[in-house]
Amino acid sequence: MQLCGHSVSPYVERILIVLEMKGIADAVVLSDVPGGFKSDEHFTYHPLGKIPFLLLDDGQSLTESQVIVEYLDAVLDGRKVIPTDPFAAATASQISRVLDIYYTNAIGPMGRVAFGGSATDDELAKARDIDIPAALGYLEKLINGSEYAVGDSWSHADAALMTHFYWFERLMPEFGVNGFGGYPNLSAYWNHVTGTDLYKDSKARADASFDKFFGGKP
């Protein structure tokens, strides 16, 4: 199987973290987009011309990072990253959903500016003062505030948090949003996560990919 994309994308990196959690990092090959980004061939695999997508050995493909994570957890060996307890599994999925929908939308104006787009002062202020605090407050109520997001071991929710918060830590200070003050569960969790080898390996991949595509800026 081939995972098409680059670690500069938090959605690609999420899958790589999950493979490491499962202890089978080499089970899927990370590759460039066939035909090049936004090529006709790219659109045959992802109708929106996005990453990631997973190419299966039989020629079929899957899109959407969370869908790919669930598929790989089902078909590959290694420890499960979807908790066996139904409520814990639902909570892990809830965390991923909050990140992918509410949090991502909240930081949207900052992301546009950071990567060459634009946002109005009002959009940036609303993101900083209303939308980002609301998203972080939502997450604050869902996570353990300890070593793991859910339960007593790594889950796919941790992979999602690591990749999104890598960018939070890297980009948000430029816009006056610094750390997780006021969110004790998130703060305690992040202090632990950033000291783990799993996060350090992910950060190194994301840093290298970022430098490759953006030359270290922003």
- Domain of 97 in residue numbering reads as 86-214
- Among 75, 101, 119, the domain boundary falls at 75
Q: Which two tokens stand for residue 159?
A: 């992979």
- Phi, then psi, of 62 in degrees rounded to 5: -130, 145
Q: What is the pLDDT of residue 218?
A: 54
Is 80 inside any structural domain?
Answer: no
d(C-alpha 144, C-alpha 37), whole Å = 39
Q: What is the pLDDT of residue 144?
A: 85
Q: What is the pLDDT of residue 146?
A: 83
Is 206 found in the same domain as 126? yes
pTM: 0.94
Is 30 inside any structural domain?
Answer: yes
- Among 42, 75, 108, the domain boundary falls at 75
d(C-alpha 51, C-alpha 43), whole Å = 11
Average pLDDT along the chain, 218 residues, taken 10 residues at a time: 95 97 95 93 93 94 96 97 96 97 97 94 97 98 92 96 96 94 95 97 95 73
Is 200 found in the same domain as 93? yes
* Beta-carbon contacts of residue 176 (< 8 Å; ≥ 6 apart): 128
Q: What is the pLDDT of residue 213?
A: 84
Q: Where are the alpha helices (DSSP H) in 46-155?
A: 65-75, 86-98, 104-106, 108-114, 121-126, 132-142
